Amino acid sequence: MKMLLLSSSVYGHVNTICEAMRPCLKQQGFELVEADFSDAPPDPKDFDAVLIGASIRNGKHNPAVISFIERYAESLSQRPSGFFSVNLVARKPHKNKPETNPYVRKFLENSPWQPDRVGVFGGQLNYRRYRRMDRWVIRFIMWMNKGPTDLDTNADFTNWDAVEEFAQDFARFAREQRQ
Ligand SMILES: Cc1cc2nc3c(=O)[nH]c(=O)nc-3n(C[C@H](O)[C@H](O)[C@H](O)COP(=O)(O)O)c2cc1C
């Protein structure tokens, strides 16, 4: 069984989350094909299951992710599929579920594809890593929603147990559907 694991990341945190998911996905017998959105990603029709992860930047998921989903909505809907979003609003306990996270809610409202499994994870905040403009933008966003604004902040808001749980649940579900 082949699974397509697609990631959209700006500073690498979504990729680190995918890395943490890898053993759980493989454990259920999936061969993983990993890709990002820099080139044309593979067509979902060649896979038994598809999982897409994307971070939020300036209030939005990468437009390339949305275009991909619009283009392949039918094919995505015809196989076990999952989606997860990574953002800093999800660091707040009352905004870390698909039903309570504003970005995921908006995504699901507008998406022609309704994934079988949806996850949302808190992201990373490391001001020193960002390009100057990005640093000021995210610092302003943090100031607006009462997050850390100290430029020495290097914080990881990801619940790694929840990441593993999500991957295990999705892989188990996908395997059961394909058997
Ligand atoms: C320039 C910039 C803009 C961001 N905008 C938002 C935002 O609007 N809302 C939010 O919740 N998180 C925002 N984030 C936080 C990211 O979603 C978080 O850092 C995530 O871990 C990034 O993952 P990535 O490195 O894989 O792209 C932003 C981060 C950066 C650097």
CA of 115 to the centre of ligand 1 (A): 22
Please say if the pLDDT value at position 179 is more than 90.
no
How confident is the model at residue 39, as a pLDDT?
A: 85
Alpha-carbon distance of 154 to 121, in angstroms, equals: 17
The closest residue, in CA terms, to atom 20 on ligand 1 is 123
**Res. 136 pLDDT band, cuts 50 70 90:** very high
Q: pTM higher than 0.95 for the full model?
A: yes
> Tens digit of pLDDT for each residue in 5-31?
999 999 999 999 999 999 999 999 999
> Tens digit of pLDDT for each residue in 140-169?
999 999 999 999 999 999 999 999 999 999
| Displacement of CA 90 from its chain's centroid (Å) | 12
- Asked whether 43 and 6 are in contact (CB, 8 A), the reply is no
> Tens digit of pLDDT for each residue in 165-178?
999 999 999 999 98
> Tens digit of pLDDT for each residue in 48-106?
999 999 999 999 999 999 999 999 999 999 999 999 999 999 999 999 999 999 999 99
Amino acid identity, residue 171? Answer: A
- For residue 12 and ligand 1, the question of a CB distance below 6 A is answered with yes
Task: Kindly report the average pLDDT of the chain as a whole number.
Answer: 97
CA of 147 to the centre of ligand 1 (A): 13
Cα-based angle 63, 65, 70 (whole degrees, multiple of 5): 95
CA of 87 to the centre of ligand 1 (A): 5
55, burial (CB in 10 Å: exposed 0-12, middle 13-18, buried 19+): buried
- For residue 135 and ligand 1, the question of a CB distance below 6 A is answered with no
CA of 138 to the centre of ligand 1 (A): 7
H or E segment and range at residue 3 = strand 2-8
What is the position in ligand 1's atom list of the atom closest to the CA of 88? 11
- For residue 124 and ligand 1, the question of a CB distance below 6 A is answered with yes
Pocket probe for ligand 1: among 14, 38, 57, 124, the residue whose CB has the most ligand atoms within 8 Å is 57
CA of 57 to the centre of ligand 1 (A): 5
How confident is the model at residue 107, as a pLDDT?
A: 98
Please choose, from the candidates 10, 99, 24, the residue with its C-alpha nearest in 3D space to the C-alpha of residue 62: 10
How confident is the model at residue 178, as a pLDDT?
A: 86
| Displacement of CA 7 from its chain's centroid (Å) | 7
CA of 45 to the centre of ligand 1 (A): 30
Q: For the residues 112-124, what does the mean pLDDT come to?
A: 98
